[in-house]
Structure formats: structure tokens, C-alpha cells
Structure 1
Amino acid sequence: MGLKSAVLSGLCDASDKKREIKNIRIGVKNMYKKGKYQESDRMSDLICGNYPMLLVMSRFGIALGFGEKNIGEVCRQNQVDTCTFLTVVNFLAEDVPAESADFSLEELMRYLHNAHDYFLRFRLPNLRAKLAEAVTDCPDDVAFVIRKFFDEYAAEVDKHMSYEEKVVFPYVRSLLKGEKSGKYSISIFSKRHDRIDLKIAELKNILIKYYPGAGSDALNGVLFGIFATEEDLLSHNRVEDCLFVPAITALELQ
């Protein structure tokens, strides 16, 4: 079977994708420390016990080099709302809804904005460059299809995040000022907040199942990066769906 027909007919169905993502989550979570983090816990213990929180820390604008300081001290030093930081950290660490919505929406939006900036300006361009380099030895038509799938995926991510930056965030800031609009509500965002991971699942399957050349460390490294990016985006979307949207819904009802 040729590559193009294989791509069209051999992509995994939705059940395969859900099972694959579930297995990733189970395997990764077993590596991390369980239980709630407190303000008095050392920031270094948080990062060493649950290293994906390094990205959370960075998206709150907190840099490394905090020594033995605890989470509360580091947050105050960086003018970050400690409750908001811990709400996101504990939600992602435990994957359960927050017990309290007592966090800063403005701070959470800053976190989400920085995450958007990270994906669009750093992670996806960096991954794209590594992918292009890794497929230089395969046939031109194959390299074209692979790059095309990645570019389509990156475009979907850009579209999704640009909508939030241009429409959702300004709307929320208006709500925080007490300005309500009958033309828009967060339910509109929820309805169009489609999952954006289908394209990346297709790209993974092309590389895993149908890549015609010999394996290489460069290609395996790219594939590992794709898996990590997918998991990071899933976590990002969970924060939006389970923390951000409910908080805005409550604000709309005030």
C-alpha cells in the first residue's frame, strides 16, 4: 500500500486515540508525587517531585534560582497570586476539579496567555524545525505529507489560541470591570472549544506506522517531542475547561 492511500485509510479511529491518550496519562502520572501541595512546601520539592510543573512555574513568570524558599515565598517574590498558582498545580497534579474557586481570574489569564506564547513562539516552531531536519533523507513526497500534517496541526492550534486572545480574554476583562454584554457568553467558547489533537494523532500514526525509511535518533526524538507536546496541550485544555470556564460562568451570573 502506498503512503498516500495508507494515510487516508490507515489512520487510527477515535477509540484507538482515546485508549492511546489514556495509556499515556496513566504511565506518566505514576512517575509523579501524589497529594496536594501547600504554600509551605519548598518550590524545589514541587519541581523535583512533579517535573511538568516546571512549565507551570515558567508560565506564571517564575524563574529558577529560588534556593530553599517555599512556594508562598517564591510566589510573593515574583508577585504571583499563591492561591492561583496552587490551584493550577494541584489540579494538574491530581487531575481533579479544584475544591475552591478562590483564585484570580486575571492571574489565570496571564498564565494561559504565557502558555499560548510558549506553544506558538517556541515549542511548535522548534518541533517543526527538528521534524524537517529528521525527514531530510526520506522521499520528497513523504517529507511533504509529513510537513503538511504538522503545519495543519500548528495552524489549528494557532487558530484556537488566537480566538482566546482576541475574543475570550477581552470579554472576561470586561466582565471583571462589571461590563456585561448580551452578545457573547462563555458558552459560545465552550461549544467551539473543540479538541485540537486529531491532527497530531494522525501525524504520530504516519511516523509510527508508515514512515518508509530507517529509524533514527533524530526522528525518535521528534516523535517523543510530539507525544510530550500533545500531553502538554491536553493539560492546558483541562485547565481551560475545568478552571477557567466555570469561573467565568460564575462571574456571568453575578
Structure 2
Amino acid sequence: METTQLTEKKLDVTVLEPRMKHPTIFEWFDALKGGESFVIHNDHDPKPLYYQLLGERGNIFKWEYLDQGPEIWEVRISKLTPEEGETVGELVAKDYRKAQVFKKFGIDFCCGGKKSVKQVCKEKGISEDQLEQELLALDATEKARETEYDKWEPGFLADYIVNMHHKYVREAIPALYEYTTKIARVHGQRHPELLEVVKHFTNVANELESHMPKEERVLFPYIKQLDEARKSGVKMEPAAFGSIQNPINMMEMEHDHAGRELEMIRELTNDYTLPADACATYTVAFKKLQEFEDDLFRHIHLENNILFPKALEMEKEVVK
């Protein structure tokens, strides 16, 4: 791709070999920064390109017809800025590998998933260009087989969360409480931060133990009712709690509380860095805390960024 072409920002597709047309357009698009654009000049409607671009790059561009034939077709393709584009949660919902990139930069993709990339970069003093490059590098690699949770039926996803993540939390809490209290008792004098770790883990455990039954007894059954009504094409009366947005707001607030407690634990432990005098229990405790954090963040992500938005859309469709 020639620099002069990029400077002119106009690509005459008619002079390219057929096999090179779409690859060249994609090359130009990938070279754009947020807010930049270029124009493609063609002799027919390039609408198939729109669908290919949407499928392979996602909703990160604007498609604007400048001339619509019959002999000349011109379209301006603009790359949206991170603020205009998808949220952190939406990006992770489409490709969970991106969670690791956000985690590397200390970006909360579950509780803070509704923020734009631009917003979180500004809040944390992160280079947007550096983050964008790492995200684009993932796009350029072959996507390993990752469970596409966003394509699951909402009712099935709700059951999955209960049977996998709620089950894990209930099994993990007693063991983690035992490990954290033990290392605080044995090592607390030399490492007083462990006493704070116990306090914050107790807080998150108590939060989740009261939180999960609310989802299992009220919110998730209602989501499954919405799902069945949608499939059957029937209308439902409004729930006693009003809009589903009300319990969702409560659940998201509790997710946020739990997430903040885990962030405090990570901060207190210096990202789970073991001290020189760490014993075997100390090592296991930190390993299990990291596993708990990873599972909970995926758990919250599935709800905040996938299940709850689906539920809100279903409510609009089926509730009278």
C-alpha cells in the first residue's frame, strides 16, 4: 500500500485485480486510527463488503454513501473512535481473549464493562494507541475455539451460570476462608496485610452468599419466563418488581461491591506476589484467590455484558 494513497484517502477499487480488492480495502481500514476515514471508488454497489467488514472487524466503522451509481459508487468508510465504538464489555463478549489484554492493563471488563475504551484509558492514564495495538494483534491471530456465550439462549446461559459459577463459588468459599485465616494467623505478625485480606475475602463471601439466591429465586426464573414467552410469541404481564432493570441494577451494584473487594485483595497482595518466607499454605491460598478472582470476573462478565442486556431486549419484546 502506497503512502500517497493513504494521504489522499481515496482508493480506486476498479483498477485492482478482483482477488486483491477486498484484501486491499481491509489493509487500508486496519491502517486507520479512530476518527480517520477513506473513500472507496467503485463501479458497482460495494454492499457485500459492508457485511464482510462487519463480520470480521465488528461494529467499529461508519459506512456512508457519497455516490450511489448507476455508473459510479463511492463510499466513505470511517473507523469509529473508541468512545464511539463498542464498550469494553461488548468487546469481551465477542472475543473473551480480549479479557486478558484488559486485565493486563488493569481494566475492569466485568463490573466496568459499560465504559468505552477511551474512557477507561483516560481514567487509568493508559495509552490508547498501545491498548488498541494489543487488541488489534489479537484480531490478527487465529481465534482459538472459545465458547460463544453471546450466542446462547438466555435461559440456557442462566442455567449455566448457576450450575458452573454459582456452584464453584459455594465450593470455593469454605476452603479459601480456611486458607486465608490460617496464613493470617501464622504469618500475620510479619505480614499484617493478610489480616486485611481475610476481612475483604469475608466481605466478598458474605456478599455472594446473599447475592446468588436472589438471582436463582427471582431474576433468573423471570429471565427464563421471558425467554419462553419470546420463543412462543406470547405477551407477558409486567413483573411485580416492575421493569427487569430494577433487579438488574441491584445485581450489578452487588457485582461492583464484590469486584471492589477483590481489587483490594489484589492490591494488598501486590498482585498475589509471594514473600520469601511463604509456606505451602501461603502459596496455595494465593493461587486459589487468583482462581476465585478469574472465575468471578468471568461470572460477572457473563451476567453484566451478555445475560442482562439480552434480558432487557426480551422484556421490550414480550412484556405488555
Range class of TM-score, shorter chain: 0.5 to 0.7
Unaligned residue ranges in structure 2 (runs of 5+): 1-100, 108-130, 230-235
- The partner residue of 1:204 within 253, 266, 274 is 266
With over 3 angstroms needed to count, the CA separation of the structure-2 counterparts of 1:245 and 1:215, relative to structure 1, is same
> Residues 124-170 of structure 1: CA distance to partner in whole angstroms, max 9, x if unpaired?
22222222333331347956544222111111222332221122012
- 1:87 maps to 148
- Name the counterpart of 2:47: none
Structure 1, unpaired ranges of 5+: 1-18, 38-45, 47-85, 89-97
Q: Work out whether 1:157 is the aligned partner of 2:214.
A: no
Alignment partner of 2:237 out of 161, 180, 193: 180
Separation of aligned partners in 2, 1:248 and 1:34 = 31
CA distance in 2, matches of 1:147, 1:131: 6
Alignment length, in residue pairs?
174
Match of residue 242, structure 1, among 299, 305, 310: 305
Identity %: 18
Contact 2:183–2:282, Cα closer than 8 Å, also in 1: yes
Amino acid corresponding to residue 87 of structure 1 in structure 2: E
Name the structure 1 match of 2:248.
190
Q: Is this contact kept in 2: 1:134–1:218, CA < 8 A? A: yes
- Over aligned residue pairs, what C-alpha RMSD do you find? 3.7
Q: 1:34 to 1:220 in 2, by over 3 A?
A: farther
Pair 1:113 & 2:162 matched: yes
2:164 aligned partner, one-letter code: A
Rounded to whole Å, the distance in 1 between the matches of 2:276 and 2:207 is: 28
Contact 1:124 1:154 in 2 (8 A): yes
Conserved? CA contact 2:203–2:261, under 8 Å: yes
Any conservation in 2 of the 1:116–1:161 contact (CA below 8 Å)?
no
TM-score, normalising length from structure 1?
A: 0.55
CA distance in 1, matches of 2:245, 2:171: 30
Q: CA 1:22 to 1:215, structure 2 compared with 1: closer, same or farther past 3 Å?
A: same
Equivalent position SS for 2:265? helix
- CA separation in 2, counterparts of 1:223 and 1:106? 34
TM-score, with length taken from structure 2: 0.45
- Point out the structure with the larger helix share: 1
